[in-house]
């Protein structure tokens, strides 16, 4: 888009642009020294910043107090809003500080850009009598601004993402803090248990040591007592051995004397044995002869006994047969008597033989009729 101007209008526009360029040049020369040799400017700006910082600190303190007292939701929200407001005011104050190097550099950049645009427009007006360079500068600035807005939007998205990540990081930190606290508590508990185990182990070690020392002492005492007992037994055995040796010698002497005495007695008893054997042999021969004669007599008596026993047995058999025969006869008589009695009873009951009743009655009636 190009709009050409000419004549007096072109002169007026060029004059205005030259005046603007001169003012910008003068402004560029005087801006760095504007606040030099003026300490009251630092005091004013410092007072403003100090006031905003104090308000921000008061907002932080009030928020901490509300959180510590665990107030209602509205109170906490109000404190948070006051905190954000003071933070924004502090940021705005720091950004609009005329003494800050960033603000001075931004003013210088804007001044140089505007001076360059005016210079280009003047050159374009002189050469072509158009504002084409101005339009190009505006379009380029719009593109830069759009790019800057895009960067700002992406930066805001990045900030939101950063805040979300920071919140996640805070949650993770809280979880890790809780986990760390639990681990620290577990570590403290394990340390306590370790300390208890150390104390217990130390006590057990002391107990085992004292017990071992006591056992060693008891063993030494027992060994000493045992050695003393064995020494006493050794002495007693030595005394017994000495006594046994003396007794053995006396017994040996006694046995030798006894052996000689018994040898003499043995000779005496051997002689007496031979003599007694001869006497007893004679008595034995006499007894054998008496036994032979007694045996003959015994055989005769046995023969007579057998004969007498045979006679007695035969007599007993005869008496037994006679008794059985008499018993049999008696049984037969008793049986015949019982049979006769039974038969008589039967005849009487049934009216048989002479015990008939009918015939006797008829005969009586006939006799009466004959009379």
Q: Per-domain residue ranges for the chain?
A: 7-130
- Confidence check: pLDDT of 105 > 80: no
> How far is it, in rounded angstroms, from Cα 358 to Cα 337?
29
Residue 203 burial (CB < 10 Å; 0-12/13-18/19+)? exposed
**pLDDT, greater one: 346 or 88:** 346
| 113, two tokens | 């850009």
Containing H/E element for 43? helix 39-69
- Confidence check: pLDDT of 155 > 50: yes
For residue 18, the SS3 value is helix
pLDDT of residue 85: 62
* pLDDT (mean) for 340-354: 84
- Confidence check: pLDDT of 176 > 80: yes
pLDDT of residue 78: 60
* pLDDT (mean) for 210-215: 89
- Confidence check: pLDDT of 103 > 80: no
- pLDDT band with cut points at 50, 70 and 90 for residue 92: low
- Confidence check: pLDDT of 257 > 50: yes
Containing H/E element for 292? helix 132-350
pLDDT of residue 142: 83
> How far is it, in rounded angstroms, from Cα 141 to Cα 133?
12
- Confidence check: pLDDT of 245 > 70: yes
> How far is it, in rounded angstroms, from Cα 121 to Cα 13?
10
DSSP letters spanning 87-128: HHHHHHHHHT-TTSHHHHHHHHHHHHHHHHHHHHHHHHHHHT
Residue 323 CA to chain centroid, in angstroms?
A: 104
Please tell me whether the overall predicted TM-score, pTM, comes out greater than 0.85 for this model. no
The backbone torsions φ and ψ at residue 123, rounded to the nearest 5 degrees and listed phi first, read -65, -40
pLDDT of residue 112: 77
* pLDDT (mean) for 14-35: 68
- Confidence check: pLDDT of 349 > 60: yes
| 209, two tokens | 């040591």
Query: Residues 45, 37: contact at Cβ < 8 Å?
Result: no
Counting other chains too, the contacts that 37-44 makes at CB distance below 8 Å and 24 or more residues apart are 41/98, 41/99, 42/99
Tell me the per-residue pLDDT of 276-300, one tens digit each, with 9 for 90 and over: 999 999 999 999 998 888 889 899 8
Cα torsion 42, 43, 46, 48: sign? negative
- Confidence check: pLDDT of 134 > 80: no
Among 88-102, 124-138, 235-249, 319-333, name the one with the lowest average pLDDT. Answer: 88-102
Terminal C-alpha separation, the chain: 211
Within 13 Å, how many C-alpha atoms sit on residue 230's CB side? 6
pLDDT of residue 106: 72
- pLDDT band with cut points at 50, 70 and 90 for residue 250: very high
- pLDDT band with cut points at 50, 70 and 90 for residue 327: very high
pLDDT of residue 145: 83
> How far is it, in rounded angstroms, from Cα 196 to Cα 188?
12
Among 292-306, 324-338, 351-365, name the one with the lowest average pLDDT. Answer: 351-365
- Confidence check: pLDDT of 200 > 70: yes
pLDDT of residue 330: 92
Cα torsion 15, 16, 19, 25: sign? negative
Which of 66, 47, 67 lies closest to 55 in space, CA to CA? 47
Which of 134, 138, 142 lies closest to 17 in space, CA to CA? 134
| 334, two tokens | 């008793």
Among 31-40, 191-200, 292-301, name the one with the lowest average pLDDT. Answer: 31-40
pLDDT of residue 232: 92
For residue 124, the SS3 value is helix
């Amino acid at each position: 888009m190009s709009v050409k101007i000419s004549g007096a209008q072109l002169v007026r526009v060029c004059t205005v642009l030259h005046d603007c360029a001169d003012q910008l040049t003068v402004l560029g020369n005087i801006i760095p020294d504007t606040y030099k040799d003026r300490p009251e400017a630092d005091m004013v700006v410092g007072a403003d910043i100090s006031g905003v910082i104090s308000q921000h600190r008061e907002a932080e303190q009030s928020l901490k107090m509300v959180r510590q007292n665990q107030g209602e939701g509205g109170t906490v929200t109000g404190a948070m809003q006051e905190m954000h407001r003071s933070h924004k005011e502090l940021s705005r104050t720091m950004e609009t500080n005329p003494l800050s190097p960033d603000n001075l550099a931004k003013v210088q950049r804007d001044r140089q850009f505007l001076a360059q645009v005016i210079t280009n427009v003047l050159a374009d007006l002189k050469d072509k009598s158009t504002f084409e360079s101005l339009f190009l500068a505006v379009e380029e600035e719009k593109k830069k601004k759009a790019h800057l807005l895009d960067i700002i939007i992406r930066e805001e998205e990045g900030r939101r993402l950063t805040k979300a990540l920071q919140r996640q990081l805070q949650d993770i930190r809280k979880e890790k803090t809780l986990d760390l606290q639990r681990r620290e508590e577990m570590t403290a508990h394990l340390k306590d248990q370790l300390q208890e185990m150390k104390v217990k182990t130390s006590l057990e070690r002391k107990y085992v040591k004292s017990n071992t020392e006591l056992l060693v002492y008891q063993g030494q005492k027992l060994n000493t007592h045992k050695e003393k007992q064995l020494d006493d037994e050794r002495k007693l055995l030595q005394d017994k051995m000495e006594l046994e040796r003396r007794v053995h010698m006396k017994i040996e002497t006694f046995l030798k004397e006894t052996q000689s005495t018994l040898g003499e007695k043995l000779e005496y008893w051997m002689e007496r044995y031979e003599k007694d054997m001869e006497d007893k042999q004679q008595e034995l021969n006499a007894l054998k002869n008496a036994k032979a004669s007694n045996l003959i007599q015994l055989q005769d008596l046995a023969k007579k006994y057998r004969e007498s026993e045979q006679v007695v047995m035969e007599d007993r058999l005869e008496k037994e047969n006679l008794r059985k025969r008499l018993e049999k006869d008696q049984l037969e008589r008793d049986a015949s008597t019982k049979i006769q009695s039974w038969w008589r009873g039967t005849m009487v009951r049934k009216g048989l033989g002479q015990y008939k009743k009918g015939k006797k009655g008829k005969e009586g009636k006939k006799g009466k009729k004959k009379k």
